[in-house]
A and B are shown apart, each in its own frame.
Chain A
Amino acid sequence: EPEVTQTPSHQVTQMGQEVILRCVPISNHLYFYWYRQILGQKVEFLVSFYNNEISEKSEIFDDQFSVERPDGSNFTLKIRSTKLEDSAMYFCASSRDSSSYNSPLHFGNGTRLTVT
């Protein structure tokens, strides 16, 4: 069964540095998402992306965050200047349709970001 893949599985960075988290969605999916889960807390929506533009973003997704689909397969999340509170598990997800019963979100295994 096709999977969403995320790299790296764990990223350690120093405060103030830029990081790029990478995701390869399922190939025939058109809708892409990033979620964040701070340790011990619930999974929070960051951003959704369709047709090469952001569909919706949460208040967490401020100017230090950006997303991009640089080619036909990758979907990236960039954090420009990391803060300690950005330490979290970041999940990429994709779906075939915008919102339908037969098109649930498929999640990757996540990238654990540690900011020191």
Chain B
Amino acid sequence: AQTVTQSQPEMSVQEAETVTLSCTYDTSESDYYLFWYKQPPSRQMILVIRQEAYKQQNATENRFSVNFQKAAKSFSLKISDSQLGDAAMYFCAYRSERGGTASKLTFGTGTRLQVTL
């Protein structure tokens, strides 16, 4: 079974600064997908960024980028130029690459990000 670990329960960053959220995972599979979801106080789950395991190039989405280290099974999220609206719970998630049946997401325990002025 796959597991996802987020070792930072809480992080804080000043507005306009950069912050990195850590995520490690454990799997015996070679093909899979990794995701970061954001959960603001409204509790909605919003997809931030995604990465395919067979792609070496790190994914980027505007101010959000990842550092994907497949051998180390590490998938960290970097938020540049942090904004007050980035304050939320961030969940790292793993999804198996498996066709034919619905493939679930396995979530980490989350990191609560505070953004200060």
Q: Which A residues lie at the B interface, using CB under 8 A? A: 31-33, 35, 37, 41-45, 48-50, 55-56, 89, 91, 93, 95, 98-101, 104-107, 109-110, 112
Q: Is the CB of A55 within 8 A of B52?
A: no
A95 in contact with B102 given A42-B110, A104-B47, A110-B43 (CB within 8 Å): yes
Q: Is the CB of B107 within 8 A of A109?
A: no
Q: Does chain A have a CB within 8 A of B73?
A: no
Q: Is the CB of A99 within 8 A of B43?
A: no
30 contacts between A and B (CB under 8 A): A31-B102, A33-B102, A33-B104, A33-B105, A37-B43, A43-B91, A44-B107, A48-B104, A49-B102, A55-B102, A93-B45, A95-B102, A98-B101, A98-B103, A99-B33, A99-B102, A100-B97, A101-B33, A101-B52, A104-B33, A104-B47, A105-B95, A105-B105, A106-B47, A107-B37, A107-B44, A109-B43, A109-B44, A110-B45, A112-B43
Q: How many residues of B contact A (CB 8 A)?
A: 28
With a cutoff of 8 Å between Cβ atoms, the chain A residues found around residue B35 in the complex are 104
With a cutoff of 8 Å between Cβ atoms, the chain B residues found around residue A44 in the complex are 107
Q: Would you list which residues of chain B between 10 and 50 have a CB under 8 Å from chain A? A: 33, 35, 37, 42-47, 50
A104–B45 Cα distance when bound, in Å, is: 12
